[in-house]
Amino acid sequence: MGPVALPAWLQPRYRKNAYLFMYYLIQFCGHSWIFTNMTVRFFSFGKDSMVDTFYAIGLVMQLCQSVSLLELLHIYAGIESNHLLPRFLQLTERVIVLFMVITSQEEVQEKYVVCVLFIFWNLLDMVRYTYSMLSVIGISYAVLTWFSQTLWMPIYPLCVLAEAFTIYQSLPYFESFGTYSTKIPFDLSIYFPYVLKIYLMMLFVGMYFTYNHLYSERRDILRVFPNKKKM
C-alpha cells in the first residue's frame, strides 16, 4: 500500500494559513473597531472627542500593538515571508511612542496629535490586514493590491512626523516629572529626555531605511501582479 495522504486540514501549509488568517482577522477587527469608534465620536462630539481619544480606545490600541509583536516571531519562524529588520523598526516606533511616551504621560494623552497619530496607524493597518487576510486564502483584487501598496507612501511619513511631534511635546513633561530618568552605578545617570532626543534623530534614519524597503517591495509586487492575472 502507498502512503496515506493527510486530510487537507492536517497538512502543515493549511494549518499555517488558517492561523495567519485568524491572526489577520483579529487584527483587522481590532483596528476597524478603533477607527469606527474614533469616527463616530468625532461626528458626535467634534473636536472635544480628540482630547479623550486615548481614554476611549487606548486599551484596545495597546492590545493590538502588543499582539502585533507576534509578527516578528512569524517572520523569524518562516510563517510570514517578510524581512525582519524593516518590520522590527516599524513595530519599535509604535511601541516606544505608545507605551513609553503616550501611556506614561497623562498630559500627552490629551494632545490632538495622539488622535491624528491613531488615525494614521489604523488606516494603514486596516488596509494592510485586509490585503494580507485575503492573500492567505488565495484571493486577490487589483484595486486592493494597488491600494495596499500605495497608501503607505503618503501616510507612513506622516506617521513618523506625528510620532516625532508626539515625542517633542512630551519632552517638557519628562523633564518636569523625571519619568524613566534614573541613576546608575559609578555616579552616572540616565536622563530620559536626552534619550528621546537621540531617538528622534534615529527615527528619521529608520524611516528612510523602511521607506526604501517598502518601495522596493511595492515595485516587486505590482510588477508580478499583472503576470498573475494573465496566467
- Give the pLDDT confidence of 160-198 residue by residue, as tens digits: 999 999 999 999 999 998 888 887 776 667 889 999 999
Q: What b/e sequence results for 100-136 when a residue is b if at least 16 CB atoms lie within 10 Å of its CB, and e otherwise?
A: bbbebbeebbebebbbbbbbbbbbbbbbbbbbbbbbb
Q: Which residue has the higher pLDDT, 181 or 112?
A: 112
Report if pTM > 0.85.
yes
With contact defined as beta carbons under 8 Å apart, do 199 and 95 qualify? no
Residues 42-63 have pLDDT tens digits of: 999 888 889 999 999 999 999 9
Mean pLDDT across the stretch 3-19? 66
The predicted pLDDT at position 224 comes to 73
Share of the chain above pLDDT 70, in %: 90
Report the distance separating Cα 181 and Cα 217, nearest Å. Answer: 40
Report the distance separating Cα 106 and Cα 128, nearest Å. Answer: 30
Active site residues: 156, 163
Task: Return the HEC string of 89-150.
Answer: HHHHHHHHHHHHHHCCCHHHHCCHHHHHHHHHHHHHHHHHHHHHHHHHCCCCCHHHHHHHCC
